[in-house]
Every structure is written in structure tokens, then in C-alpha cells.
A and B are shown apart, each in its own frame.
Chain A
Amino acid sequence: MIRFSNASKRYAGGQEALSNVSFSVDAGELVFLTGRSGAGKSTLFKLIPAIERATSGSVIVNGQNVSAIKPAAVPYLRRNLGVVFQDRKLLYDRSVFDNVLLPLAFSGFAPKEAARRARAALDKVGMLSREKLNPIQLSGGEQQRVAIARAVANRPAVLLADEPTANLDADSAAAVMEIFIAFQQVGVTVLVATHDLALVQHAGRRVLRLEAGRLVEGGDPE
């Protein structure tokens, strides 16, 4: 489903954030990506929805080489990926429901169908009762769930989450992790970046470990 082949990313300053990273994630797998902050987790994450482009090597998502994708095709790529951003990127000028509705608004769904899907997504993360609130009124864990609901509202085949449990207490973090496991169980490919090793060990899934831009665990044999 996701395949990195010798992918490297060098920023304009000359600093190499990722070096020769090769790994693959099969359809329906749940994989953790770990490493200290600054190890390149976020950079690797940004390569998948083409927020950043690999400087060399290739990144294939669902059969499409996203490191060479045309700008006009990027929106359609992103609609097939559910992304939970590290800073959540919720909009605080509208309700929880309207936040989740946002990605459905430009995917061509009829308004009724879009509303139905948004509610279904909120229901899956246990936030349906909060749909009318503004995200600012919610706790960090609840906001994270709303962000997840928004990411899955389009029913993407791939779900990416960047540090979804950062700044959450242990109970909220465990609850959020349960949600990812539940999505994997219904066939969604899930990639979660986290530095919360206790959580990773508890889940008992495959782990990719980055160190200073290199994959030191879980990658393809060189």
C-alpha cells in the first residue's frame, strides 16, 4: 500500500532529513513509526500526502509515485488518505460537525450524504454527542478524536497519524490508540508516528524506527 524505495529528503539548507529510507506497509497493516524528535518522522510523514517531495528515491502510495505526482493530481491523492496532523489543524470558527464535514464538502457528495458520513465518522470516535460544540470547548483527547473523525470521514484506505497521543494523558492516549486498532480491524491501512514507546509495546505491532534520518529497524533489508 505504501512503499518507500531509497527515499531521501534534503531541505534547501542542505540538511538531510531522510537518507535512503526503504520500507513497505501492506494493505490492512497497522505500523508504528518511532524515533526521537528530529529523527525525521514528520518529514517521512509529509512525503506520503505530497506535502513535501522526496529529493531522490520514490514513494509509492496505492500504486502511484507521489514523489513525481503532478500538482493538479495532489488533491485527489489527499482525498484517499486520511491524515491526523500533529497540531490537529481543527478550525475553531465552526462546530465539530462542520469540521468533519469539510473534507466531504469538496468530494462531490450530496449534502445529505455528506452529513450522514460526517455523523458516522463522529460516531465511530464516540464524539457524536459533541457535534454542535466548538472544538475549543473540548479537551485535548476529544479534539484528537475529532481530528481522527475528520481524517476518516471520506473513508480513506490509508490513515496516517502524526503523534496522535502527544500531550494526552495515559487514558486518553490508550483510548485514541483503540480507535486506530479498530480502524485496522475493518481493513484500513494505518501508519502511526509516535515516540510513546509504552503505547507501541502494548499494541504489539510492527515498528519502524528512525534515527537521524535513517531507518534502523523494520525497513527493507539493504
Chain B
Amino acid sequence: MKAWLSHHAQAFKGALRKLAGQPVSSLLNVLVMGIALALPAGGHVLLANLQGIALRFSLEPQISVFLAATAETSTRDALDKSLRADARVSSVRFIPKSEALAELRKTPGIAEVVAALNQNPLPDTFVLKLRPSRPGEMDGLASELRKRPGVAAVQADTGWARRLAALIDIGQLTTAMVGALLSAGLIAVTFNTIRLQVLTQREEIEVARLLGATDSFIRRPFYYVGALQGVAGGGVALAILAGSLHLLNQGVRPLSETYGAHFELGFLAPGDAAAVAVLAGLLGWLGAYLSVSIYLRGIEPK
């Protein structure tokens, strides 16, 4: 265990030496990786923020429930009670048909038409405000209500919310595709870096093999180089992202104030930020693994 730890410590130091030995190319690699990672990470951040806005706008989704003209008072009271007890519903307003008619009379031009009617054609209505929810839930509640006794019609405007959700889905898919492509690019960058290092250290590798170094001892420092470069690239990506959001927010803040709201683009959740760095490290490791597996094979002592 102690030997194992000391081997890893050695490999880690060796990797730092290798990176420090070529500071310019190491920095450039890290920068390239950072930029490549910042794109999908940035896309993810913007979508997450957009989702937040969508949720805020749909804070007050409404459902109107129109009762049948034949509905009994007891049915109406039962419905009223169950709606008020429903966890998805935040407020219930009952508009009796007389009130609705009185409202209609105030509309210019309509009053004469209303006066000509000998009975009130409007139904009793419940206007429900819902708690913030996914668009699907709203549809579910609406179709549930349609089946209730005494309910003539239910109107739920979920179209725009569904459209926004679909757009966000497309955005997420695009981000995922861009992320996958750039990840492959990141693997390729590491692959090439490690290939060059293996070739320039050919002599050292050959001597180490002759003196009894195991294959894993020889490979380990290269894995560390790949992983370290990846993690550093992930760090750069997060820094680019934080900087960009800071700049964007200087524009977003005054814009949101014109809407009477206070809104700012938020950064990645701490878990997501850590995931970016870890993923970058894994990709770097993978690139190093592939490269070392291919190019070490050619180096056998003679």
C-alpha cells in the first residue's frame, strides 16, 4: 500500500515535471481544452437559466373550470371543497354566473345584447391558480377535472409552456451534441500531446524497461499528464464561463429592471461545476490511455 502510494506520488510529480518542462505547449493545450469545454458548459448554463425563467413565468398558470348549467349546488360545493384541498392548486376563485353577466354588461356594445336575453347564458366558473409545475402536470389536472360531475368544460392554456419546454429540449440536445463532439476533440488533443511525449521520451522509456520498470510504472506518469491537463482545462472552462456570465449580467440586469424584475444569469450548481472538472480529467486520461497503449508498443529494448 505504501509502495503503491509512493509510486502514484512519483508518477504525479513526474507528470508535473513533464508539464512544466513544456510550459508553452502545456498552457496552450489547457487553453484549447478550456475553450472547447466552455462552449457546452455555457450552453448548459444558459438553458438552465432559461428554464428558471420559464418556471417563473408559469408561476401563475391558470385553469378555468366551467360548470354545466344543470349542475346542482351540492355538486358545485363538493367541487369547490375538493379543489381547495388539492395540493397542485394554490388559489380558487369562484365566479357565479350572475357576476359574470354583470361583468359582461359593462362592456360597451354588449350591454344591449345582454339586455335582449331573457336568461343568463353564462356558466358558473372556477378560476384556479396553480402552483409552479411542469406543463405535463397542468394537462393532467385539466383532463382530471373534465371527468368530474357537473363540469361542462375546462380551459387550460398550456400551449406556450409546452412550446418553451420543447425549445429547451432542443437546446439541451444541441448542447449535448456539441459537448460530445468537443469531448472527442479534447481526447484527440490529449492523444496527440501524449504521443509526442512518448516519442521524445523514447530513450528514457527504453532504459526504464531494461532496468526492470513494469509497464504500469511507465504508463502512469502519462495518465497523470492527461488527467491533470484535462482538469486544468476544466478549470479554465469554468473561469471562462464565470467571466462571461459576469459580463453578460451587466447587460441582463438593466434589461430585467425594465420589466420590473430583478434577474441575473446564475452560475453552474457546485455539483455541476465539479462534474465539468472531473469529466475533463477523465477525457484527458482516456486520451492518454489510448495514446500510450498505441505508441508504447513500438518501444521495446533491443
Q: Are A89 and B207 in contact (CB under 8 A)?
A: yes
Q: Are B6 and A77 in contact (CB under 8 A)?
A: no
Contacts of A51 in B (CB 8 A): 210, 301-302
Interface status of A150 (Cβ within 8 A of chain B):
yes
In the assembly, what is the distance between CA of A106 and CA of B221, in Å? 12
Q: Are B212 and A76 in contact (CB under 8 A)?
A: yes
Q: Are B214 and A75 in contact (CB under 8 A)?
A: yes
Name the one of B6, B204, B207, B212 contacting A75, with C-beta atoms under 8 angstroms: B212
Interface status of B253 (Cβ within 8 A of chain A):
no
Total contacting residues, chain B, CB less than 8 A:
20
In the complex, how many angstroms separate the beta carbon of A71 from the nearest chain B beta carbon? 9
Using known A-B contacts A51-B302, A108-B3, A110-B6, determine if residue A103 contacts B211 with beta carbons closer than 8 Å.
Answer: yes
A-B contact pairs, 13 of them (CB 8 A): A49-B210, A51-B210, A51-B301, A75-B214, A75-B215, A78-B210, A79-B212, A85-B210, A89-B207, A105-B10, A106-B7, A108-B7, A154-B212
User: Chain B contact residues: over half helix, strand or loop, or mixed?
Assistant: helix
In the assembly, what is the distance between CA of A75 and CA of B210, in Å? 8
In the complex, how many angstroms separate the beta carbon of B248 from the nearest chain A beta carbon? 47
In the assembly, what is the distance between CA of A79 and CA of B210, in Å? 9
The digit string for A12-33, where 1 denotes a CB below 8 A from any CB of B, is 0000000000000000000000
Q: Are B212 and A91 in contact (CB under 8 A)?
A: no
Interface status of A126 (Cβ within 8 A of chain B):
no
Question: Number of A-B pairs whose CB atoms are under 8 Å?
Answer: 50
The digit string for A52-95, where 1 denotes a CB below 8 A from any CB of B, is 00000000000000000000100111110001010001010100
Interface status of B213 (Cβ within 8 A of chain A):
yes
B interface residue numbers (CB < 8 A to A): 2-3, 6-7, 10, 203-204, 206-215, 217, 301-302
In the complex, how many angstroms separate the beta carbon of A11 from the nearest chain B beta carbon? 12
Using known A-B contacts A51-B302, A91-B204, determine if residue A75 contacts B213 with beta carbons closer than 8 Å.
Answer: yes
Contacts of B214 in A (CB 8 A): 72, 75, 106
Chain A residue nearest in CB terms to B14: A105
Q: Are B210 and A83 in contact (CB under 8 A)?
A: yes
Chain A residue nearest in CB terms to B203: A91
Name the one of A72, A106, A110 contacting B212, with C-beta atoms under 8 angstroms: A106
Interface status of A137 (Cβ within 8 A of chain B):
no
Interface status of A111 (Cβ within 8 A of chain B):
yes
In the assembly, what is the distance between CA of A75 and CA of B301, in Å? 12
Contacts of B213 in A (CB 8 A): 75, 106
Q: Are B204 and A111 in contact (CB under 8 A)?
A: no
Q: Are B212 and A102 in contact (CB under 8 A)?
A: no
In the assembly, what is the distance between CA of A51 and CA of B10, in Å? 26
7 cross-chain pairs, A with B, having the tightest CB-CB distances, nearest first: A78-B212, A79-B212, A108-B3, A103-B211, A106-B213, A75-B214, A106-B217
Contacts of A107 in B (CB 8 A): 212
In the assembly, what is the distance between CA of A78 and CA of B214, in Å? 10
In the assembly, what is the distance between CA of A51 and CA of B212, in Å? 11
Contacts of A150 in B (CB 8 A): 211
Q: Are A102 and B302 in contact (CB under 8 A)?
A: no
In the complex, how many angstroms separate the beta carbon of A36 from the nearest chain B beta carbon? 21
Q: Are A91 and B207 in contact (CB under 8 A)?
A: yes
* Sample of 5 further A-B pairs with CB below 8 A, known A89-B207, A91-B204, A105-B10: A75-B215, A89-B203, A106-B217, A108-B6, A110-B2
Contacts of B207 in A (CB 8 A): 89, 91, 102
In the assembly, what is the distance between CA of A85 and CA of B210, in Å? 10
Chain A residue nearest in CB terms to B217: A106
In the complex, how many angstroms separate the beta carbon of A166 from the nearest chain B beta carbon? 18
In the assembly, what is the distance between CA of A105 and CA of B211, in Å? 10
The digit string for A143-155, where 1 denotes a CB below 8 A from any CB of B, is 0000000100010
Contacts of A105 in B (CB 8 A): 10
In the complex, how many angstroms separate the beta carbon of A42 from the nearest chain B beta carbon? 10
Contacts of B211 in A (CB 8 A): 78-79, 83, 102-103, 106, 150
In the assembly, what is the distance between CA of A72 and CA of B206, in Å? 16
In the complex, how many angstroms separate the beta carbon of B202 from the nearest chain A beta carbon? 11
Chain A residue nearest in CB terms to B302: A51
Contacts of B208 in A (CB 8 A): 102, 106
Q: Are B203 and A77 in contact (CB under 8 A)?
A: no
In the assembly, what is the distance between CA of A111 and CA of B302, in Å? 30
In the complex, how many angstroms separate the beta carbon of B236 from the nearest chain A beta carbon? 29
In the complex, how many angstroms separate the beta carbon of B127 from the nearest chain A beta carbon? 76
In the complex, how many angstroms separate the beta carbon of B60 from the nearest chain A beta carbon? 67
Contacts of B206 in A (CB 8 A): 89
In the assembly, what is the distance between CA of A42 and CA of B301, in Å? 13
Q: Are B212 and A77 in contact (CB under 8 A)?
A: yes
Chain B residue nearest in CB terms to A46: B302
Q: Are B212 and A111 in contact (CB under 8 A)?
A: no
In the complex, how many angstroms separate the beta carbon of B88 from the nearest chain A beta carbon? 64
Contacts of A78 in B (CB 8 A): 210-212
In the complex, how many angstroms separate the beta carbon of B225 from the nearest chain A beta carbon? 17
Contacts of A110 in B (CB 8 A): 2, 6
